[in-house]
Each structure stands twice: as structure tokens, then as C-alpha cells.
Structure 1
Amino acid sequence: MGIIGTILIGFLVGVIARFLKPGDQPMGWIMTILLGIGGSLLATYGGQALGIYRAGQGAGFIGAVVGAVIILAIYGFMQRRKV
């Protein structure tokens, strides 16, 4: 998958994660895309560390959304601690 496909999937995963996690998340489109891409990476490498996925095998769409929700929760926690 090319960089454009990665960005589009990252955006979609980020939007779904923001929809699933309640509360106010003051971030723009760039952060939403990075959230989705980060969630996919977290799910892929976390799943490989836990033995869910093999090396070279990426996480599925649901795994990417779960990873993005985890990152969004951590981001929200860090924002609250900052204020």
C-alpha cells in the first residue's frame, strides 16, 4: 500500500477511534491521521509481541481501531495532566 493509501486508512481509523471514545478531543485533521496510523502500528507490533500476529503480518482494521483508541486515551490523559 502506498503512502496515500496509508494516510487514507489512518484518517478513517482515527475518525472511528474519535467517534468511539467519548469526550472532547481537541485535535485537527493531521493529528487524527497520525492517531490512526499510530493505532495501526501499535496494534501490529503489540499483536506481534503478544503472538497474535506473525512477523510481516499487519493488524486488521479492528485491531488498528483498538490501537488508535488506546493512543487517544493516552493522549487525552496527557492533555489533562498538562493543564
Structure 2
Amino acid sequence: MIGTIISAIIVGLIVGALARLVMPGKQNMGIIITIVLGALGSLIGSWLTYQLGYNNSNGGWEIIPFLVGIVVAIVLIAAYLAVRGRQVRA
């Protein structure tokens, strides 16, 4: 149980960080929200790819759900920034 939670946090951090790197501009958001949106993007991306019929018959690392998770995390980060609004602090 603890291992699963730690793995989700690490994957969320990686997916969220990669999503933020791909996005243009500066995103003013903390590490916690990056982890949460990255983990959520990874979860939704994996679920979506398997619902569309993805099957990792060769075994190994599942690159397609990982990439779709990054795309979903980009969309979630963009939605978060749109809802929160771009606040410029001087």
C-alpha cells in the first residue's frame, strides 16, 4: 500500500514535470499541484488508452499510456491555469 502511494507520487511528479516542460511559457504553480495534476493525468491517460483497446502484448515499459498521460496532464495544467488565472506578482 505504501509502495503504491509512493510510486504514484513519483510518477505524478515525473509526468507533471514533463508536461510543464512541454508547455510554453511560465506556469506559476507549486510542486504539490504539479504532482497532483501529473498523477491525475497519468491515471486518466492510462485509463483512456486501455478503454480504446491498447494492449501491451510484448511486455516491458508501456510507453503509449505514459505519453498519453503527459498529454492529459498538459490539458489539466492548462485548465488549472485558465481557472486560476495568470496572476503576476510584482
Q: TM-score, normalised by structure 2?
A: 0.70
Structure 1 stretches (4+) deviating beyond 3 angstroms?
45-49
Runs of at least 5 residues in structure 1 that lack an aligned partner in the other structure: none
Larger deviation, residues 35-44 vs 11-20: 35-44
Cα distance in 2 between the residues matched to 1:46 and 1:74: 18
Cα distance in 2 between the residues matched to 1:22 and 1:79: 17
User: 1:47 Cα shift?
Assistant: 3.4
**1:45-64 counterparts in 2 under 5 A?**
45-49=47-51, 51-53=52-54, 60-64=65-69
Q: Calculate percent identity across the aligned residue pairs.
A: 36
Larger Rg: 2
Q: TM-score, normalised by structure 1?
A: 0.75
User: 1:2 Cα shift?
Assistant: 1.4
How many residue pairs match? The answer is: 77
Runs of at least 5 residues in structure 2 that lack an aligned partner in the other structure: 56-61
User: 1:27 Cα shift?
Assistant: 1.0
